[in-house]
């Protein structure tokens, strides 16, 4: 009985030893900067002696406001 248990134990160790154990692959974490807020610019123009401004969304490439008179 001891020989059978010993032989099974040796066979088990031999079989387990032949298969490589694979660890989880290293996952590289890449930190990228992602803009979360829109970028706005005020655009100014002078027409007929009056100064106007208008808000431009540079992220979405569109106007956000109508022309607003700021000067005489």
Residue 55 inside a domain? The answer is yes
Residue 65 inside a domain? The answer is yes
pLDDT at 20: 63
Which tens digits make up the pLDDT trace of 11-68? 777 776 665 666 767 777 777 877 688 999 999 999 999 999 999 999 999 999 999 9
pLDDT at 27: 74
pTM score: 0.50
Residues 16-35 as b or e (16 or more Cβ within 10 Å = b): eeeeeeeeeeeeeeeeeeee
Residue 16 inside a domain? The answer is no
Q: Which domain holds residue 42?
A: 38-72
Number of domains in the chain: 1
Residue 67 inside a domain? The answer is yes
């Amino acid at each position: 009985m001891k020989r059978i248990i010993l032989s099974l134990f040796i066979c088990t160790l031999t079989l387990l030893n032949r298969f490589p154990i694979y660890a989880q692959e290293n996952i590289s974490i890449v930190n990228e900067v992602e803009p979360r807020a829109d970028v706005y610019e005020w655009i100014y123009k002078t027409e007929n002696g009056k100064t106007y401004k208008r808000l431009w969304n540079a992220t979405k490439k569109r106007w956000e406001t109508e022309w607003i008179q700021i000067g005489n």
